[in-house]
């Protein structure tokens, strides 16, 4: 099975900061990677797919990059509503998919 390792697990930042979360795959997954945002008590929400394509309605301060085994999610100019948990997901082996362990982004 393809494993995904996210780092960091926890991130503390201030409104207006820029942050980057990394997701490393245990094997080449081309660009078959998505990023989700999850707020407490809510279902996850798809932000980015195919490594860098923004889902409709997602603000442009979110961006994704990478291919192969290393991927990043960058949030520029953090807004209060961005403080949440973030998960990467690989679909290279769809329908068998896996998620990273998550990154919790909190307000400093």
Partner 1 sequence: QVQLEQSGAEVKKPGASVKVSCKVSGYTLSELSIHWVRQAPGKGLEWMGGLDREDDESIFAQKFQGRVTMTEDIATDTAYMQLSSLRSEDTAVYYCTTPETGTWYFDYWGQGTLVTVSS
As measured in angstroms, the least distance from the Cβ of 75 to partner 1 is 19
* Options 13-21, 57-65, 67-75, 90-98: segment touching partner 1 (CB under 8 A): 90-98
The minimum distance between CB 45 and partner 1, in angstroms, equals: 8
For the record, the structure tokens of 36 come out as: 């989700």
| 3, 12, 13, 89 from 49: Cα distances, Å | 18, 25, 25, 9
User: Using CB under 8 A, which residues numbered 26 to 45 contact partner 1?
Assistant: 32, 34, 36, 38, 43-45
Report CA 5 to chain centroid distance, whole Å.
11
Q: Does the footprint of partner 1 cover residue 94 (CB under 8 A)?
A: yes
Applying CB under 8 A, does 68 fall inside the site for partner 1? no
Contact between 63 and partner 1 by CB under 8 A: the answer reads: no
**Quick one: tokens of 28?**
């080449």
Residue matched to tokens 């994704």: 64
């Amino acid at each position: 099975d393809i494993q995904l390792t996210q780092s960091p697990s926890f991130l503390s930042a201030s409104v207006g900061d820029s942050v980057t979360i990394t997701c490393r795959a245990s094997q080449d997954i081309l660009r078959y990677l998505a990023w989700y945002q999850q707020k407490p008590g809510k279902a996850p929400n798809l932000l980015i797919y195919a490594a860098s394509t923004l889902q409709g309605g997602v603000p442009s301060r979110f961006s994704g990059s990478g291919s192969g085994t290393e991927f990043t999610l960058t949030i520029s100019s953090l807004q209060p509503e961005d403080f949440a948990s973030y998960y990467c997901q690989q679909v290279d082996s769809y329908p068998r998919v896996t998620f990273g362990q998550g990154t919790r982004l909190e307000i400093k």
